[in-house]
Amino acid sequence: MSDVLKIGDVKLSSRLFLGTAQYPSPEILGKAIEVSQPGALTVSLRRESAAGKGQDFWNILKGFDIPVLPNTAGCYSVKEAVTTAEMAREVFDTNWIKLEVIGDDYTLQPDPFLLLEAAEDLVDRGFEVFPYMTDDAVLAGRLDAVGCRVLMPWGAPIGSGRGLNNTFALQLMRERFTSHVLVVDAGIGAPSHAAAAMEMGYDAVLLNTAVAKAGEPVEMARAFALSIEAGRAAYLSGIIEAQDQASASTPLIDKPFWHQHGG
* pLDDT tens-digit series, residues 100-154: 999 998 999 999 999 999 999 999 999 999 999 999 999 999 999 999 999 999 9
DSSP strands (E only) in the chain: 5-7, 10-12, 16-19, 40-44, 68-71, 96-99, 128-133, 150-153, 181-185, 204-207
**% of the chain exceeding 70 in pLDDT:** 89
Which residues, in sequence order, are bridge partners of residue 131?
99
Q: What pLDDT score was predicted for residue 62? A: 78
> Which of the given ranges, 32-46, 57-71, 164-178, 241-255, has the highest pLDDT on average?
164-178
Amino acid at 129: V
Q: DSSP 3-state helix, strand, coil percentages of the chain (rounded to 5)?
A: 40, 15, 45
**Which is nearest to 97 in space by CA: 66, 65, 132?**
132
Q: Alpha-carbon distance 235 to 233, whole Å?
A: 5
255 is catalytic: no
CB 32 within 8 A of CB 218: yes
- Active-site position among 6, 98, 213, 255: 98
